[in-house]
Each structure stands twice: as C-alpha cells, then as structure tokens.
Amino acid sequence: MNIPAYQNEPYTDFTVPANRAAMEAALARVRAQLGREYSLTTSDKLISTNPANPAEVIGIHSKASPEMANRAVENAFAAFPAYSRTPAEARIGMALKTAALIRERKLDFNAWLVLEAGKTWPEAEAETAEAIDFCEYYAREMARLAGPHPVIQLPGERGELRYLPLGVGVVIPPWNFPLAILAGMTVAALVTGNTVVIKPSSETPTVGAILAQTLLEAGFPPESFTFLPGSGAAIGDILVQHPKTRFISFTGSRDVGLRINELAANPRNGQIWIRRVIAEMGGKDAILVDEDCDLDAAVEGVVASAFGYSGQKCSACSRAIVHAKVYDAFLAKLQARAARVTVGSPEDPTFSTGPVISAGAKKTILDYIAIGKTEGRVLIGDTNIPATGHYVPPTIIADIVPTARIFQEEIFGPVLAVSRADNFEQALAMVNDSVYGLTGAIYSRNPDHLARAREDFFVGNLYLNRKCTGAMVGAHPFGGFNMSGTDSKAGGPDYLPLFLQGKSIAEKL
C-alpha cells in the first residue's frame, strides 16, 4: 500500500479566537446529547456523570451480565476465522478511516473528554490527537508486518516467515485516557486480525461508546468486536479466564493488573494456549533535579508533570528528588510556580486543571495528603477549589524520606513529594527506590550525570531536561519496567507483534 509517511497529529491552538469559538460550539453540541441511554439490553444500568458537576449525567449504559460476557467471547471466537482472513490491506484501510473520522470530529471528542473525564481543553486535545496517532501509526506498522518476510534461504528450500493473528482478545482500558488508550489497544488488536471484547472503564463508558460507533463507521465489521460495559467484579474475571480468550490487553492499576496476570496464567478446561497478557500498570515517577541544572526549566517540568490533569496519569511526576545544593532554591521557585496553578471547571479554558475522576478517588487522595502531612512539610495545599465537584488542591509536601508512604505508594492525584539528596549518587539511588519503573526525568547540565542516567535510571521512558509526561506516538514508545507492567512499548515498532504469532514456512524444492 502507498501510505504517506507517518506524522504526529498537530494540536489545535485554542488561543486563536476561531478555534476557541469552535471548541465552545463543540461543547454545546455534546452537552445537547448528555443523558442518552446507549443500550437497552439489561435493566441494571451504569450511569456516568460529570466529575466537575456530579449531578449532570453524561450517559446511561446497560451493565453486561456474566452470561453476556461468556456469550461475547464465544461470538468473538466464532467470528475470528473469517475476520482473521480479511486482507491486511482492508484492515489497514479501516484503521486509517478511523483516524480520519476522529480527526473530522476532533473537537467533539475533546468535548466528551472534558465532560466525562474532566480534562482541560489542552489535555483533551492532546488525547484526541494521540488517538489519531495510534490509528495512523498502527496502520503503517501492519503494512510493515503483513509479509511474508524473507529469511535465510537454505540450499534446496524456499523459506518465509508470516505473522498470524492470535485469536480473541479482551481489551480493558483505563478511565484516564478513555479515548487514546482504548483506540490504541483496540485498533492494534483489530488491524492485526484479531477479534476483541472491549470492557470500558465504568467511569468513562460514554467516550468508549462513541469510539465504538466510530469503529463501525470506519468499516470494522460488527462481529469483529463487542463493546461490553459492566462491572469488573461481575464480568472481568469471566472475560479473562474464558478458555477461548487468547490475550488480554490491559491498562490500569497494579493490583488489578497482577490479578489479571494471575488469572490468565491458570489454564481452564478446553484451553489450548498460554494466554498472553499485555499490561501497563502505573508508576511512581520521579524527576531528578541536579545541582547544576536550569532550575527554572526544572520547576516548569515538575509542575507540568505533577499537576497536569490533576496528576491522574501513570506517567505523572509524584516525586521530585533534588540535590542538596539547590534544594532550598528549588523549593522556593516551585512553591511560587505551583501557586499559579488554578483549579476549576475544565469547560473554562482559563483554569490550569480540573477535578479528579470520582468521589472515591478524591477520598483516597485526601487520605494520602493527611498521611503526607505527618511525613513532611506542606509547601502548598490550600489552592481555592470549587465547592461542587470532585476537586483536590494541588499539594506539595517537602522533606520526604524514601521510607515514607507518599514516597513509595502510587497516589494518582495532584500530590508531589519532594526529597533532598546529598549528592548525585544518592539521588539516583532514591529514584530507583521503587517497585515501579515507568517514566522519569533528569534535569542536569553535567554530561557524565546524563550519561549515567541513560544507563542506570531504571525506567521504561526516560527524559533528559524535559518533563516526564507527554509521550508521543512513534517518538516515545511507551511502557515500563517492574510493577509498571510488561514494557509493551505502545506506539512503537515492538507493539503490534504482541498481537501476532510467527509462523515459519519452509518448502523443499
């Protein structure tokens, strides 16, 4: 196929009055669709609400029953033989069409993310662009992998290598990137010829439902995937353990990921394969601030990484580890910069950040802040926040030691622990003092320290003199070490082979 070279989707500039007006119109269009019921299959309903205004219903979805979960896997298994033989060119075309449709409706997708996920305009724009990027990138990757591929030719033989789809996959996306990660995992599975069952997050099912409609419009056959909202407790284990489930693609918490891995490893009656688990499970990400760095740049990077989307990213900076020689100066600059972070409705583009996703998340984060207050010194934590909605003030707690809970445990909110290191060696050791290993960054002008970080800063995504969030498809293949998951490297050349299996064919001449 003749596909133009891949390029990342450009971001909309909302400082341009016409773009701002267009985004406001998109919010109005989407608000007119709120409260719809998306399926009528069961009487047990999942109701999605606006985290900035919990009284506002975003969408109503039927919860799948255990019987429906079993049937979804069986139907996907039955559809797999025919769909897997759909020519690669056709599947690639569907992925490209999905990208084109999301691009056409970019501002409307942004609006759904603002209203259901609580994202600010720039955060929503970045996510929608990433969804487009995943579709475009994986289409080109499938063109590369379609084959057959040459191998060493032995005398008297003709050999080749082909990549085959695996079978039925279960796709379990997170609530914090309900469009981009869902699109990436689903399109990766479909473009490689697998059939899938999608269990969206219960916090953000409406964004998933809109994407599912888009996949159908793009030409993916109805039998190639099933969109199955429901409680993880009711249907999650069933989907993972079904003997006809071939792989599970999961993004979410460590505890759920470990349970999926455990359940997937246990074969069931009738199962004839080892299930494959592709998991990204969170992080406790650190930024190392060296003694000779550009402190202003480091402060900007830490604030953006810690408080963008209220810290609700697996890549968010939750630990700043600062060289003792610049510790006090860094804290002074950090406190002043963080004080300018404004919290309010994500529909209003003048605010820096919005709510956290739910009342439960808010309670968990506030509990950690209470713990942090006993473990260190609060620098900031009294930002004005709206009375209505799931808001948490950006919080910085200094003088944290590595044994502290807020140094070790993932909080998933706008809480930053700052620690002092006597020297670079100690700082690097503190960075690596974690069960996680997803992202990290170092701000330094010392080439030896930067070289050392390249070797010994143990994360899947390392950034030098820039923030630790904002991975771009194609440029920053994304996935982490240790309890951060299987290092799947989404958005990179190693990702699609996780949804395929190699078949070597040799013919005697």
pLDDT in tens, 276-334: 999 999 999 999 999 999 999 999 999 999 999 999 999 999 999 999 999 999 999 99
Q: What are the DSSP E strand ranges found in 343-484?
A: 377-380, 395-398, 415-421, 436-437, 439-443, 461-464, 481-482
Annotated catalytic residue, options 135, 293, 314, 468: 314
The C-alpha atoms of residue 418 and residue 197 are separated, in whole angstroms, by 42
The more confident residue out of 42 and 188 is 188
Domain-embedded: residue 332: yes
Print the domain residue range for 249: 17-281+488-508
2 confidence band (pLDDT: 50, 70, 90): confident
In the block, tokens 């390249």 appear at: 454
366 — pLDDT class (breaks 50, 70, 90): very high
For position 1, what pLDDT does the model report? 75
Residue 357 tokens read as 């996703």
Give 339's pLDDT tier (boundaries 50, 70, 90).
very high
Radius of gyration of the chain (CA): 23
pTM of the model: 0.98
Q: Which amino acid is it at 159?
A: G
Determine, yes or no, domain membership for 2. no
Q: Which runs of consecutive H residues, i.e. helices, occur in 405-460? A: 405-408, 424-431, 447-456
pLDDT band at 77 (very low <50, low <70, confident <90, very high): very high
Long-range pairs for 49-52: beta carbons < 8 A, 24 or more residues apart: 50/115, 50/116, 50/118, 50/389, 51/117, 51/118, 51/354, 51/355, 51/356, 51/357, 51/358, 51/389, 51/390, 52/118, 52/345, 52/346, 52/347, 52/354, 52/355, 52/386, 52/388, 52/389, 52/390, 52/391
Q: What pLDDT score was predicted for residue 104?
A: 98
CA–chain centroid gap for 270, Å, is 33
Kindly state whether residue 479 falls inside one of the protein's structural domains.
no
Q: Give the number of domains in the chain.
A: 2
Q: Which helix (H) or strand (E) holds 92?
A: helix 88-104
Same domain flag for 141 and 265: yes
Q: Are 72 and 188 within one domain?
A: yes
394 with 377: CB under 8 angstroms? no
pLDDT of residue 338: 98
Q: What is the distance between the alpha carbons of residues 414 and 391, in angstroms, rounded to a whole number?
A: 10
Distance CA 39, CA 32 (A): 18
Whether 89 and 222 share a structural domain: yes
Residues 66 and 188 in one domain: yes
Q: What is the DSSP letter of 478?
A: B
Is the domain of 289 the same as that of 271?
Answer: no
> In this structure, are 242 and 372 located in the same domain?
no
Do 315 and 255 belong together in one domain?
no
Token readout for 74 is 């069986």
CA gap 138, 144 in Å, rounded: 10
Place of tokens 């990484």: 305
- CATH code, 225: 3.40.605.10
Per-residue confidence (pLDDT) for residue 487, from 0 to 100: 96
Say whether 223 is catalytic.
no
- Note the pLDDT of residue 147: 87
pLDDT band at 379 (very low <50, low <70, confident <90, very high): very high
Does one domain contain both 271 and 193?
A: yes
Of the chain, the percentage scoring pLDDT greater than 90 comes to 98
- Is 186 found in the same domain as 139? yes
Q: Is residue 131 part of a domain?
A: yes
Active-site residue flag, 280: yes
Residue 98 maps to a domain: yes
Shared domain check, 261 and 346 = no
pLDDT of residue 186 exceeding 90, the answer is: yes
Tokens of 238: 């069933």
Q: How confident is the model at residue 392 (pLDDT cuts 50, 70, 90)?
A: very high
Q: What is the pLDDT of residue 60?
A: 98
β-partners of residue 149 are 161
Residues 266 and 389 grouped into a single domain: no
CATH number of the domain at 412, please: 3.40.309.10
**Which tens digits make up the pLDDT trace of 484-508?**
999 999 999 999 999 999 999 999 9
Reported as a single tens digit per residue, the pLDDT across 108-120 is 999 999 999 999 9
